[in-house]
Amino acid sequence: MLDFLLDKKGFFVAATRPKTHGQGRDTERQMSYVRALTCKECAADYPVEPRTVCENDFGPLEVAFDYTAMRGNVTRESIQAGPDSLWRYKDLLPVEGPPRAGLRSGMTPLIRADNLAKKLGVKDLYIKDDSANYPTFSYKDRVVSIALTKALEFGFDTVACASTGNLAHSVAAHAAAAGVRSFVLIPHDLEEGKIVGSLVFGPRMVKIHGNYDDVNRLCSQIADKYNWAIVNVNLRPFYTEGAKTLGFEIAEQLGWQLPKHTVVPVAGGTLLPKVWKGYREFIELGLVKDNQPKMYAAQAQGCSPVVEALRNGRELFKPQKPDTIAKSIAIGNPADGYYVIKIVNDSGGYGAAAQDQEILDAVKLLAQTEGVFTEPAGGTTLACAIKLIESGRIPRDEPICVCITGNGLKTVEAMQGQFADVPIIPAKLNDFDRVVDELAQQPAPGAALTSPLVSVDPPTPRTQPTAATKPATP
Amino acid sequence: MTNTTNTQQKCWLTFEGGHQNEPCLWKMTVEFPDVAFDIRQASVQKDIGIMAVLFTGKEDRVTAAIQYLTNLGVKVDPVEGGDLVAG
């Protein structure tokens, strides 16, 4: 059993490791099950330190765990005895001591979306709603929780990032709560409205003359010279592990089962491979049955290098210049795009891309059927899920999970012009009666999805089409 | 004034739009024989090629060599960079 203490804010935090954990293992490694950092290309091992790429082939490094030692110690019961946050999966995360950040992050709702399912004609549809993540309403609160905790374990006194959106908000907020200095680097010409969401948490913000690539390049140099923790640069192997918790939660909240089909937005390519890794780890530990889950990539049409490669059967993607309303996933040269393509193909999934209007329609559809207001990235994921369903790539009678990764209240400007004018009337009951009659003529809520969703290649039937794979008739 | 400090730079080179069929690195070495390149991994397909390359030389020469490749149409990205999101 885990022992728990109340932290300063009244939340339970794990105080000690399970008593049985680490028996027979050397003292230095008793604190976690981390074995090493391993190159994803050549499998070379490196010590656990702020290091990002392999010296041999520059392949990305990933945290490797000792699953043999975990087996029998990391159980459904040990997880359920943990706190009501992503830290209930601490044994599967690359953290040695107690959590130092994000004590209330994670464990976001998994919504059984019956209204939306009925609308789409599918049987079991779930929305993993990270628009409700804490404290900054996006999935980035997961990865930053781990990165900031690891930064403090490594002894960094400053955390930083180059971002203008969800990542910047999360880094600034978590750093403020942890009492750590933070820096946010942004291009000099960024709109003021995007800056406030970070500045309110009190980071040091620096505007850099140049474009995004210039800022990114500078970040690498800063990490080297100043010995700062740039969460998505020199702490990337640890940061990305936080994304696994999205997959862990889906499985646990589904009653220790995996959805057959998981649709994930793709930006830099962190999330999809890590949700997959989370699924595989639960399977490896015997916590869930291997039902051969399939992973699907969702991108905006205006920035769809991964989906374009999937459609054309290529292992490599061509970088693109982003042009989409879904700015939080607008990465034209995704660092982990290659691995997204590999996992999607290995799992038997596919990819879809959505036009901007389809994205906005899907935002409205989700809001008007399930009461969830997501940012355009979430609209992208849902719009792509619909395309995959309509094309028969995702069967209508198998469990589907759509990952919603950010909150629409952060990007209300994206929805401007999407709604009819709001009537203004005198304060008289007769006028109100008239307006009620007029409004009754308008489409009912939930009828927002108006544009036809097309352009996903239907699957090639292996034999005769079955009820499960046959493209649905509208 | 030139910077004569020795440096090493790890880069991803992306070749597309026909550049995957051109000897871009050879052209670079003709112009910059004092900049060494070490290909650590490469993947070349019909319409795109990607290489992980370590450049070694005097700092200003490495910078100039990388700029030369960029001018040829090769996309050059630092290996150790993060994802910068515009939203």
Tell me the pLDDT tens digit for each residue of A215-226: 777 887 888 789
The reported pLDDT for the residue numbered A7 is 38
Distance from CA of B66 to the nearest CA of A (A): 14
Q: At what angle do helices A356-370 and A376-390 cross, to 10 degrees?
A: 90
Per-residue pLDDT, averaged over A71-87, amounts to 97
As a whole number of angstroms, the distance between CA A335 and CA A329 comes to 13
As a whole number of angstroms, the distance between CA A309 and CA A314 comes to 5
pTM, whole model, 2 decimals? 0.86
Q: Are A139 and A133 within 8 A, CB to CB?
A: yes
Three-class DSSP category at A112: strand
Among candidates A58, A223, A376 on the partner chain, residue whose Cβ is nearest the Cβ of B79: A58
Residue whose token pair is 């935090």: A13
Instruction: Flag if B78 and A329 touch (Cβ within 8 Å).
Output: no
Higher-confidence position of A70 and A462: A70
As a whole number of angstroms, the distance between CA A127 and CA A116 comes to 10
The reported pLDDT for the residue numbered A331 is 86
pLDDT at A1 over 60: no
Q: What are the tokens at B30?
A: 């003709």
Q: Which chain B residues contact residue A329 at CB under 8 A?
A: 85, 87
Q: Which chain B residues contact residue A335 at CB under 8 A?
A: 81-83
Q: What is the pLDDT of residues A127-185, one digit of tens each?
A: 999 999 999 999 999 999 999 999 999 999 999 998 868 999 999 999 999 999 999 99
Residue whose token pair is 């070694």: B56
Would you list the DSSP string of A159-182? Answer: EEEE-SSHHHHHHHHHHHHHT-EE
pLDDT at B4 over 80: no
Strand runs labelled E in A294-347: 294-300
Distance from CA of A121 to the nearest CA of B (A): 32
Q: Which of the four pLDDT bands, split at 50, 70 and 90, describes residue A192?
A: confident
Provide the number of CB pairs (under 8 Å) joining chain A to chain B. 108
Instruction: Flag if A165 and B82 touch (Cβ within 8 Å).
Output: no
As a whole number of angstroms, the distance between CA A187 and CA A314 comes to 33
The reported pLDDT for the residue numbered A405 is 96
Q: What are the tokens at A273?
A: 């491979």
As a whole number of angstroms, the distance between CA A31 and CA A228 comes to 24
Average pLDDT along chain A: 87
Distance from CA of B34 to the nearest CA of A (A): 22
Strand pairing report for A294-300 and A351-354 = parallel
Phi, psi of A166 (to 5 degrees): -60, -40
pLDDT at A443 over 80: no
Instruction: Flag if B83 and A319 touch (Cβ within 8 Å).
Output: no
| Complex ipTM > 0.90 | no
Radius of gyration, alpha carbons of chain A: 23
Asked if the bond preceding A135 is cis, omega within 30° of 0, the reply is yes
User: For the range A418-424, what are the long-range contacts, defined as Cβ-Cβ under 8 Å and sequence gap of 24 or more?
Assistant: A418/A360, A418/A364
Instruction: Flag if A41 and B81 touch (Cβ within 8 Å).
Output: no
Q: What is the pLDDT of residues B25-41, one digit of tens each?
A: 999 999 999 999 999 99
Domains by residue range for chain B, with CATH:
6-78 (3.30.70.260)
Distance from CA of B79 to the nearest CA of A (A): 7
Higher-confidence position of A474 and A95: A95
Among candidates A56, A164, A334 on the partner chain, residue whose Cβ is nearest the Cβ of B87: A164
Instruction: Flag if B40 and A56 touch (Cβ within 8 Å).
Output: yes
The reported pLDDT for the residue numbered A16 is 35
- Angle (CA) A374-A112-A77 rounded to 5° is 110
Q: Are A183 and A204 within 8 A, CB to CB?
A: yes
Would you list the DSSP string of A2-36? Answer: --EEE-TTS-EEE-S--TTTTTTS-GGGTT--EEE
Q: Which of A222, A146, A213 is nearest to A184 (CA)?
A: A222
Domains by residue range for chain A, with CATH:
4-92 (no CATH), 110-137+243-415 (3.40.50.1100), 140-239 (3.40.50.1100)
